[in-house]
Structure 1
Amino acid sequence: MQDSLTHQHHRGPRRWYTLGLVVVVVLAVVGLAECVSVGGEYYTNCSSLLPGQYLCTDYSIDPLTQQPRGCTKTGRAKIICNSAPGIICTETNNGTFEREIPCKYTNGYSYETALLLSVFLGMFGVDRIYLGYYAIGLAKFCTLGFLFLGQLIDIILIATQTVGPADGSHYVISYFGAGIEVIRMDNMTYRMPQEDWVMTGAQNKEL
């Protein structure tokens, strides 16, 4: 009886050792399936590459929209990228792969045209009509641009790109031009206070 208990006592650690070895082997196989090295080249899913492990230079810009070709209403476009030397993409079996990048969907509304219309014909509401705000454009036409005050406000709003096309698309601006990115803060964002925002009492006395 004692020999049987001793035998089971010795089998317990061996069983756990075997189970641990099996787990390690399974994890190793999964890792190899994700990234396999063959002859000094690494085969991996290139969609998971980190910055610095790939380079995207094939930016095919559409001259009509001034955005990457294939830009969708969701604000995404696909471009061809190249992985770093020695990395082979499993999806293409070579060093190239498709990657999604953000873009600004445009629908043919030119920023320069809208601004010029606002400056020279804004009192007649032509700028608002051009952007698709027909009711506001008609109101400006009937009131001479709200006695020119509405025209001045619209010039500022269009110049700062605060007001855009009514369909929600972006202005057609040169891809490498002076586009403005509006950053908004709401309840879902948080602004980290900096130490230099709040001056100490001693600093206030010095001032």
Structure 2
Amino acid sequence: MNNVNIIILIFIQIFNLINSQCNLNGLISCNQVPVECLDCSLTINCIYGEQLSSLCRMLNGSCINNNNKIVSSFQRMYICRYCYQTPLDELACTSNIACRHYQNSNHYKSNCTIADNTQLCLGSRTFYRNIECNWTSGHKKLNTLLISIFFGGLGFDRFYLGHIKEALGKIFSFGGLGIWTLIDSVLIACGYLTPDDGSVYME
């Protein structure tokens, strides 16, 4: 009996939490109603990427539809895909500035959610995703290229990027008589020669 009471209490708390989140101030457009304030019937029997329409019912209150009528249920368009299949630029993910490219993996596990709180998708809206580690330590590609062109013979470009051994080699070989300098300039321009600490160039 105690277990039943606990379950009922949990459901009541969840219901109250949803209602408190969905007490919208005044009437808003139905297109702006957050997903957590809606009960939508989504179908999983669809083709990935297909544009579909779902009947959504507001959990609390009403909204204004496209015909300027006050309604409590309306149609909302969505794309047939699970939330974790949403493109990265449409997600809000936790960042990790401690990751490094030269570690065992150049990806880190991030906690992501759908950035647009009105966008419908299948499954859980919060999930983990492996994101490429693209931290920067302040090196700019253009600066590196200019240093390589004008001072590459003295190894300044390699010093700037943190490649100390190669920089000393360039100094003592006079930049490979210009050949090494030319090669480094091409490698920097193509993006193959990057900072030694594993960071990426600043935009």
Question: What TM-score do you get using the length of structure 2 for normalisation?
Answer: 0.45
The structure where helix makes up a greater share of residues is: 1
Question: What TM-score do you get using the length of structure 1 for normalisation?
Answer: 0.45
Structure number with larger C-alpha Rg: 1
